[in-house]
Amino acid sequence: MTGRTLVAGVGNIFLGDDGFGVEVARQLAGTDLPDGVTVTDYGIRGMHLAYDLASGFDAAILVDATPRGGAPGTIYVIEPGLAPQPAAGADTHPLLDAHGMQPDVVLGMLDLLGGARPGQIVIVGCEPGSVEESMGLSDPVTASVPEAVRVVLELVTGGLEARAEQRPTAGHGTHGHGAAEPGARRGRFMTKGWGHVPRHSR
């Protein structure tokens, strides 16, 4: 792995399975990681994540609960479709939630800070079973945490470069919403979308 990579565990630990990313970050913190890889638990602190990205990262991996309609515990690998970075000085009048953790929201905050976006953003997501007010992950999501840790380690030890090299060129399609990635393990997908999980207690 070359360059700097930020692995961001995000989510609300008070909303059940929405704490998935936080738990994955906790377990990754105890592993041997390549030079240049930083793992941080951001919870719901979107502005904190944007500030850290503004310090200059070549790639970012966001780990989060990601509802896509699959069975609870399903692990997804997603490269989200994101709006292009606005031109310098552009007045976009964004209405941003400092606790928002969706990629477009975080990058909007990063744009406001004047920071350069990472060249590659990948989401390692997990299908939640419940995001009701509660502490702790459901059994299916708990069982998927080691797989998510393994997927992140695979990405930071060469998987990101491999995915970048396999990106389709102009004029070629990408896999649509919910389409299985060729050769992928059961339950892993590459899509161009992003699921939203509420970050605040009701």
CA angle, 57 then 59 then 63, to 5°: 115
* Interior angle at CA 197, CA 108 and CA 61, nearest 5: 55
CA R_g for the chain: 16
Per-residue model confidence (pLDDT) at position 126: 97
The amino acid at 71: A
Domains, the chain, ordered by start: 5-165 (3.40.50.1450)
Give mean pLDDT, residues 115-120.
85
Q: Where are the alpha helices (DSSP H) in 7-159?
A: 20-28, 46-54, 103-113, 139-154
Distance CA 160, CA 35 (A): 15
What does the alpha-carbon distance between residue 14 and residue 201 come to, in Å, rounded to a whole number?
Answer: 7
Q: What is the pLDDT of residue 169?
A: 43
Residues 44-90: pLDDT tens digits?
888 888 889 888 899 999 999 999 999 999 999 998 765 454 445 54
Per-residue pLDDT tens over the stretch 137-161: 999 999 999 999 999 999 999 888 8
- The arithmetic mean of pLDDT across residues 159-175, rounded, is 60
